[in-house]
Structure 1
Amino acid sequence: MIYASVHFVLSHLPNFNSISGVSLAAAVMSLSYSTIAWAASTSKGVREDVEYGYKAKSTAGTVFNFFSGLGDVAFAYAGHNVVLEIQATIPSTPEKPSKGPMWKGVIVAYIVVALCYFPVALVGYYIFGNSVEDNILISLKKPVWLIATANIFVVIHVIGSYQIYAMPVFDMMETLLVKKLNFRPTTILRFCVRNFYVAATMFLGMTFPFFGGLLAFFGGFAFAPTTYFLPCIIWLAIYKPRKYGLSWWANWVCIVFGIFLMVLSPIGGLRTIVIQAKEYQFYS
Structure 2
Amino acid sequence: MDAVVPINEDNFYFEDEDDRSAEQRAIDDWLPIPSARTAKWWSSAFHNITAIIGAGVLGLPYAMSQLGWGPGVTVLVLSWIVTLYSLWQMVEMHETDRGKRFDRYHELGQHAFGEKLGLWIVIPMQLGVQVAIDIVYMVTGGQSLKKVHELLCHAPCKNIKLSYFIMIFASAHFALSQLPDFNSISGVSLAAAIMSVCYSAIAWGASIHKGVQPDVQYGYKSDTTVGTVFNFFSSLGTVAFAYSGHNVVMEIQASMPSSRDKPSKVPMWRGVIVAYTVVAICYFPVGIIGYWIFGNTVQENILITLQKPKWLIAMANMFVVVHLIGTYQVIVTNLSVFFSCPYSMSSSPLQSIIAHSICMQIYAMPVYDFIETGLVKKLKFRRSWYLRFVSRNTYVAFTMFMAITFPFFNGLLGFFGGFALAPTTYYLPCIIWLVLKKPRKLSLSWFANWFCIMFGVVLTVVAPMGGLREIIMKAKSYKFYE
TM superposition score category, shorter chain reference: over 0.9
1:85 corresponds to 2:231: no
Within 1, Cα distance between the matches of 2:185 and 2:398?
21
- Alignment partner of 2:477 out of 267, 279, 284: 279
Say whether 1:172 aligns with 2:370.
Answer: yes
Q: Distance in 2 between matches of 1:47 and 1:100?
A: 47
Query: Partners in 2 of 1:75 and 1:281 — Cα distance?
Result: 27
Which of 269, 284, 290 lines up with 1:124 in the alignment?
Answer: 290
1:148-198 deviation per Cα after TM superposition (whole angstroms, max 9, x unaligned): 111111101111110111111111111122233222233332222111111
* 1:19 matches 2:217: no
- Indicate whether 1:243 and 2:409 are aligned: no
Aligned residue for 1:39? Answer: 205
Give the Å deviation of 1:85.
1.1
Greater RCO, 1 or 2 (C-alpha within 8 Å, sep 6+): 1
Q: How many Å separate the matches in 1 of 2:297 and 2:207? A: 13
Q: Secondary structure at the match of 1:185?
A: coil
Write the distance in 1 (CA, Å) between the matches of 2:470 and 2:175. Answer: 35
Distance 1:69 1:204 in 2: 22
Aligned counterpart for 1:267 among listed residues 451, 457, 465: 465
| Higher mean C-alpha displacement, 10-19 vs 251-260 | 10-19
C-alpha RMSD of matched pairs (Å): 1.3
Q: Which residue of 2 aligns with 1:139?
A: 305
Which 5+ residue runs of structure 2 have no aligned equivalent?
A: 1-166, 333-364
Letter in 2 for 1:169: V
Which residue identity does 1:199 align to in structure 2?
Answer: A
Q: Which has the higher helix share?
A: 1
User: Measured at CA, do residues 105 and 283 of structure 1 come closer, stay the same or move farther in structure 2, by a change above 3 Å?
Assistant: farther
The one-letter code matched in structure 2 to 1:54 is Y
Whichever residue aligns with residue 260 of structure 2, its letter is P
Runs of 4+ in 1 over 3 A off after TM superposition: none
Residue 264 (structure 1) shift: 0.7
Could you tell me which amino acid in structure 2 is paired with residue 254 of structure 1? C
User: Could you tell me whether the CA contact under 8 Å between 2:248 and 2:331 is conserved in 1?
Assistant: yes
Q: Secondary structure at the match of 1:137?
A: helix
Q: Distance in 2 between matches of 1:91 and 1:24?
A: 20
Equivalent-residue separation in structure 1 for 2:260 and 2:373 (angstroms): 28
Unaligned 5+ segments in structure 1 are none
> Partner letter of residue 240 of structure 1?
K
Q: Secondary structure at the match of 2:476?
A: helix
Matches within 5 A, 1:104-123: 104-123=270-289
- Deviation at 1:282? 2.3
Cα contact 2:234–2:415 (8 A) shared by 1: yes
Q: 1:223 aligns with which of 408, 413, 421?
A: 421
- Counting only pairs closer than 5 Å after superposition, residues 41-56 of structure 1 correspond to structure 2 as 41-56=207-222
1:234 aligned onto 2:432: yes
How far apart are residue 95 of structure 1 and its match?
Answer: 2.2
Number of equivalent positions: 284
- Measured in 2, the distance between the counterparts of 1:163 and 1:225 equals 22
Does the 8 Å contact 1:141/1:147 carry over to 2?
yes
Give TM-score, length-normalised by structure 2. Answer: 0.57
Instruction: Name the larger-Rg structure.
Output: 2
CA distance in 1, matches of 2:267, 2:478: 46
- The answer to whether the 8 A contact 1:73-1:219 is kept is yes
- Contact 2:203 2:303 survives alignment (8 Å): yes
Deviation at 1:143, TM superposition (A): 2.2
The residue type paired with residue 209 of structure 2 is S
- Please tell me whether the aligned partners of residues 16 and 86 of structure 1 are also in contact (alpha carbons under 8 angstroms): no
Give the drift of 1:77: 0.4
Q: Which residue of 2 aligns with 1:58?
A: 224
- 1:160 aligns to what? 326
Contact 1:178 / 1:184 at 8 angstroms: preserved in 2? yes
Which region of structure 1 is more displaced relative to structure 2, 201-210 or 160-169? 201-210
Give the direction of change, closer, same or farther, for the CA distance of 1:110–1:44 in structure 2 (3 Å limit): same
Task: Return the letter of the residue paired with 2:202.
Answer: I
Distance 1:93 1:191 in 2: 37
Map Cα deviations across residues 86-134 of structure 1 (whole Å, 9 max, x no partner). 1111122222111111111111111111111111111111111111111
Are 2:415 and 2:466, in contact at CA under 8 Å, matched by a contact in 1? yes
Structure 2 residue identity aligned to 1:70: L
Equivalent residue, structure 2, for 1:76: 242
The answer to whether the 8 A contact 1:68-1:213 is kept is yes
> Quick check: 1:209–1:283 contact (8 Å CA) kept in 2?
no
Where does 1:196-211 land on structure 2 (aligned, <5 Å)? 196-211=394-409
**Residue deviations 1:202-241 (CA, integer Å, cap 9, x gap):** 2222222213211111111111111111111111100101
Question: Which residue pairs with 1:256 in the alignment?
Answer: 454
Counterpart CA distance in 2 for 1:264 and 1:56 is 18
Percent pairwise identity? 68
